[in-house]
């Protein structure tokens, strides 16, 4: 291995290893040699962005993060992505690239005390003419007041803030902090990325070389499910087991034995995690309760996060059932809440109940299709102004300008419906995006929609006739 440069960080694994509970200043210890028997993930930790596997949508030539690295001007950012994709590694490499002090805080166990320690360390570095990068792992676990504590120091330039989160920062990071940081979305490592990491790891193994046949290699990559840390950790487990058994090569059968039930997590028989969630979704959509229960149980038995499955059930209720049975969405939300209260295994029954109900519910993707169509229309259409009669008029000037004129208050109309009224921008034809399916509740919705449209047609026809008559009289 090449010697470490003075700017390199202290030992941590390839994709994480942030010190929990206290602000960890990785600076003076960067030059420390790797200890004997250091984890494989640490030995493979990239020393430059060119060594990083994956994330080429951010690190490729001309891509945002590479430009940031090459600019010489660090900026605050948030890395959003699943575990084991390089969030911490990129933050450490950023500190190396800008010769900055690297301070790491874990929001899992850290708090205001650790934030104060980090601020003090950054102030000391600033006095010495050195920049600081503050890395906050699991930043979404800090509450609003804790996140607010970073704001004045980010604004003053005391440190460059880099947060890492597995949760959507739009919901988990407060708006003030989010507005001061650029969000970069990191993706799960692809099978090709994991294969490259696997091949690199085999070369870096301690001791005698270890071979893997194609089936074992494929299964281990599938089991990793886009997580580089999981791949490297499980590879070490398998290699240690193989050497203990006196083997020089690992095949598929031995791999299953070595990883025991853990292998079933998402790759028994070659199925990947996203293949299984796809199978669950398609079983619900296909109205097959037995297959729905099978794939749900497979994923839970394999260690899938039940909260993730609950979120997917909520999505399915909107996408594939919709207004054909609006109760499905509420039941999915109730099942998610029930799981939060009861946990595993009791709460899993609520997920199964919701999944079976959804499998047997009438299906409609009418809202899903309409939503996709209107979003595509908006992306490609001009920015149309709001019609004057739909604008609010809270001031005298607005009223004088005609805001709100000729608006018809629906509750004052027969059947509380202003027949013939228009609500779309002027010049825009009625698109009829929403087309209710002839199933479940949407049968009645479709009947009402057809009736309302018939009222509109009659009102507009009457208005057209009246306009024609007035034209004739004026002549």
Domains of the chain, first to last: 24-185 (3.40.50.300), 191-269 (1.10.8.60), 273-360 (1.20.272.10), 373-468 (no CATH)
Looking at the chain, how many residues does it have?
A: 475
**pLDDT (average), residues 359-387:** 92
> What residue has token string 């790759």?
267
Q: What is the pLDDT of residue 37?
A: 62
Q: What is the pLDDT of residue 416?
A: 93
Write the pLDDT tens digit of every residue in 212-250.
Answer: 999 889 888 988 878 898 899 889 888 888 888 888 889
**Is 23 strand, coil or helix?**
coil
Token duo for residue 164: 């890492």
Write the pLDDT tens digit of every residue in 316-367.
Answer: 999 999 999 999 999 999 999 999 999 888 999 999 999 999 999 999 999 9
Tell me phi and psi for residue 25, to 5 degrees. -95, 110
Mean pLDDT lowest among 4-8, 103-107, 169-173, 460-464: 4-8
**CA-CA-CA-CA dihedral for 111, 115, 118, 123, to nearest 10:** -160
Q: What is the pLDDT of residue 345?
A: 87
C-alpha closest to that of 92 among 142, 134, 154: 134
Element of type H or E holding 211: strand 211-212
Q: Are 210 and 248 in contact (CB under 8 A)?
A: yes
Q: Are 280 and 302 in contact (CB under 8 A)?
A: no
Q: What is the pLDDT of residue 330?
A: 96
Strands 24-26 and 101-106, sheet pairing: antiparallel
Q: What is the pLDDT of residue 21?
A: 40
C-alpha closest to that of 169 among 181, 160, 151: 181
C-alpha closest to that of 89 among 159, 146, 191, 8: 8
- Where are the extended beta strands (E) located within 65-187? 77-80, 101-106, 132-137, 160-165, 182-185
Q: Are 356 and 292 in contact (CB under 8 A)?
A: yes
Band of residue 272 on the pLDDT scale cut at 50, 70, 90: low
Task: Tell me the sheet residues that pair with 158.
Answer: none
- 459 pLDDT more than 60: yes
Write the pLDDT tens digit of every residue in 131-175.
Answer: 999 999 988 888 888 888 898 998 888 999 999 998 888 878 888
Band of residue 285 on the pLDDT scale cut at 50, 70, 90: very high
In percent, the amount of the chain with pLDDT more than 70 equals 87
Instruction: State the angle between helix axes of 273-285 and 306-316 in degrees (0 to 180), rounded to the nearest 10.
Output: 40
**pLDDT (average), residues 294-317:** 90
Helices (H) and strands (E) in the chain, counts: 21, 8
Q: How far apart are CA 106 and CA 18, in angstroms?
A: 6
Q: How far apart are CA 430 and CA 170, in angstroms?
A: 33
Burial code (b: 16+ CB inside 10 Å, e: under 16) for 312-339 equals: bbbebbbbbbbbbbbebbebbeebbebb
- 10 pLDDT more than 70: no
Average pLDDT over the chain, rounded to an integer = 83
């Amino acid at each position: 291995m090449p010697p470490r440069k003075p700017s390199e960080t202290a030992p941590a694994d390839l994709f994480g290893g942030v010190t929990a509970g206290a602000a960890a200043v990785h600076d003076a210890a960067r030059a420390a040699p790797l200890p004997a028997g250091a984890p494989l993930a640490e030995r493979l930790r990239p020393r430059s962005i060119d060594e990083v596997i994956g994330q080429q949508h951010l690190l490729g030539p001309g891509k945002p993060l590479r430009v940031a690295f090459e600019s010489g001007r660090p900026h605050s950012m948030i890395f959003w992505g699943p575990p084991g994709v390089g969030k911490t590694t990129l933050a450490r490499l950023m500190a190396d690239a800008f010769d900055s002090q690297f301070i790491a805080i874990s929001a899992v166990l850290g708090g205001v005390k650790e934030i104060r320690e980090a601020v003090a360390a950054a102030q000391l570095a600033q006095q010495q003419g050195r920049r600081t990068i503050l890395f906050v792992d699991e930043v979404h676990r800090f509450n609003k007041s804790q996140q607010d504590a970073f704001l004045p120091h980010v604004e003053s330039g005391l440190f460059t803030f880099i947060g890492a989160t597995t949760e959507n920062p739009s919901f988990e990071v407060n708006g003030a902090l989010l507005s001061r940081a650029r969000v970069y979305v990191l993706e799960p490592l692809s099978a090709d990325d994991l294969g490259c990491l696997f091949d690199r790891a085999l070369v870096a193994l301690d001791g005698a070389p270890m071979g893997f046949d194609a089936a074992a290699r494929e299964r281990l990559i599938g089991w990793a499910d886009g997580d580089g840390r999981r791949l490297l950790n499980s590879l070490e487990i398998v290699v240690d087991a193989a050497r203990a058994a006196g083997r020089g090569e690992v095949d598929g059968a031995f791999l299953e034995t070595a990883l025991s039930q853990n292998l079933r997590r998402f790759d028994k028989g070659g199925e990947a995690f996203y293949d299984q969630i796809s199978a669950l979704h398609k079983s619900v959509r296909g109205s097959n309760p037995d297959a729905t229960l099978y794939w749900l149980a497979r994923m839970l038995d394999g260690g899938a996060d039940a909260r993730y499955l609950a979120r997917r059930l909520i999505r399915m209720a909107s996408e594939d059932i919709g207004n054909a049975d609006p109760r499905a969405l509420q039941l999915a939300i109730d099942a998610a809440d029930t799981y939060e209260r009861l946990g595993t295994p009791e709460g899993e029954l609520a997920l199964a109940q919701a999944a079976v109900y959804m499998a047997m519910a009438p299906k409609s993707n009418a809202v899903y299709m309409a939503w996709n169509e209107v979003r595509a229309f908006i992306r490609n259409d001009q920015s149309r102004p709001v019609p004057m009669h739909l604008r609010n008029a809270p001031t005298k000037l607005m009223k004088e300008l005609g805001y709100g004129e000729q608006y018809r208050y629906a509750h004052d109309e027969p059947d509380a419906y202003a027949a013939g009224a228009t609500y779309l921008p002027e010049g825009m034809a009625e698109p009829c995006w929403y087309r209710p399916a002839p199933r479940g509740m949407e049968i009645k919705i479709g009947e009402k929609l057809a009736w309302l449209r018939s009222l509109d047609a009659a009102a507009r026809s009457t208005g057209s006739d009246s306009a024609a008559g007035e034209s004739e009289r004026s002549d």
